[in-house]
């Protein structure tokens, strides 16, 4: 198995996050949360582009038409990165101006799940929300500090969620039809010596891949046994998220950040903030769930 991360593009993000593989357009999308930017890169042509939103963006999901829905610091919005347009949908936390959206994804039924957090990282200030096909928003979990990586099992019976400061990857019973979750429990925890769990994805074998913030790695875990299966070293301390891409979904894209690093640390980590890829990893990922309308 190839475990060597390569640089995709020399562009460096302050807080690179939220990679999404767009299999229809054969491109990787990722964000700079704090700069409010959505980046895109086409591996076939090596074309790179950026849309500046003018506000913080926590995550984006694909729609069937190729456009995006973003979870921003001020709610959900339609985004067309090709036309460079944005249209507000709704904001469930307009009464909490210090909060912003962070990580999120669509579930197997096409609902958009996204969590919030305090911009000052106030404990228990965040919540998890679900945007449905009618653009109605429902709250699912409260008292989160840094709502982060999430994934669904292949049988659509289990939902996984990370609240970063807990170091835990939690599992919930998930009902596909209703979109409800229950029976929260810890699947496994990241050792303190290995940093903090950040973003996450799942592969076709049901194993979870976790990015380690302050941990220099991406790790693969069996959520049923809690066993760590492998670690991919990354030449950057703050590893933020990962997702599978490429035509066969066997390339692992990895986002990183240089937020909070001193000048001395950046000298030792000149690639901090870059997007990396581990090619031909021999484990297949799953295509991203897209937002669906009824």
Q: Which residues are annotated as a binding site for substrate?
A: 100, 102
Contact 22, 7 (CB under 8 A): no
Instruction: Indicate the burial class of 1 (C-beta count within 10 angstroms; 0-12, 13-18, 19 or more).
Output: exposed
Largest CA distance in the chain: 52
Q: Phi then psi for 165, rounded to 5 degrees?
A: -65, -20
Angstrom distance (rounded) from CA 176 to CA 193 = 36
- d(C-alpha 68, C-alpha 180), whole Å: 24
99-106 sheet: strands from edge to edge: 99-106, 112-118, 126-131, 137-144
Catalytic residue among 198, 248, 251, 263: 198
Both tokens of residue 67? Answer: 């456009």
- Beta pairing, strands 68-72 & 57-62: antiparallel
Q: State both tokens at 32.
A: 């700079």
Residues placed in the known binding site for a divalent metal cation: 17, 148, 198
Query: Two tokens at 184?
Result: 């929260």
Nearest one of 158, 105, 31 to 291, comparing CA atoms: 105
Eight-class DSSP state of 288: P
Rounded CA-CA distance 215/233 in Å is 9
Told to judge if 198 belongs to the known catalytic residues of this protein, a careful annotator would answer yes
**In contact, 251 and 275? CB cutoff 8 Å:** no
Tokens at 290, concatenated:
């897209």
At residue 106, φ and ψ (nearest 5 deg) are -90, 145
Q: In the numeric block, which tokens belong to residue 151?
A: 């994934």
Binding residues, by number, are 17, 100, 102, 148, 198
Residue 149, both tokens: 């990586």
Which sequence positions are flagged as catalytic? Answer: 198
């Amino acid at each position: 198995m190839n475990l060597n991360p390569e640089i995709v593009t020399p562009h460096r993000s302050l807080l690179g996050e939220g990679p999404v593989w767009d299999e229809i357009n054969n491109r990787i999308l990722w964000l700079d949360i704090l700069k409010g930017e959505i980046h895109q890169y086409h591996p076939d042509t090596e074309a790179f582009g950026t849309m500046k939103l003018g506000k913080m963006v926590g995550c984006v999901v694909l729609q069937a038409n190729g456009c995006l829905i973003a979870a921003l610091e001020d709610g959900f919005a339609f985004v067309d990165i090709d036309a460079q347009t944005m249209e507000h949908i709704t904001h469930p936390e307009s009464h909490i101006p210090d909060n912003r959206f962070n990580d999120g994804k669509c579930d197997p039924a096409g609902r958009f799940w996204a969590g919030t957090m305090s911009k000052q990282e106030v404990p228990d200030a965040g919540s998890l929300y679900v945007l449905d096909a009618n653009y109605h928003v429902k709250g699912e979990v409260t008292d989160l500090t840094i709502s982060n990586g999430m994934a669904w099992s292949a049988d659509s019976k289990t939902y996984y969620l990370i609240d970063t400061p807990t170091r835990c990857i939690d599992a919930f019973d998930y009902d596909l039809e209703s979109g409800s979750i229950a029976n929260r429990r810890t699947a496994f925890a990241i050792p303190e010596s290995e940093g903090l769990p950040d973003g996450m994805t799942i592969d076709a074998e049901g194993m979870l891949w976790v990015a380690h913030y302050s941990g220099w790695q991406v790790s693969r875990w069996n959520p049923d046994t809690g066993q760590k299966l492998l670690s991919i070293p990354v030449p950057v301390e703050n590893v933020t998220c990962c997702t599978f891409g490429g035509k066969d979904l066997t390339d692992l894209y990895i986002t990183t950040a240089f937020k909070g690093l001193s000048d001395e640390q950046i000298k030792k980590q000149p690639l901090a903030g870059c997007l990396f890829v581990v090619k031909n990893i021999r484990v297949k990922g799953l295509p991203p769930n897209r937002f669906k309308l009824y």
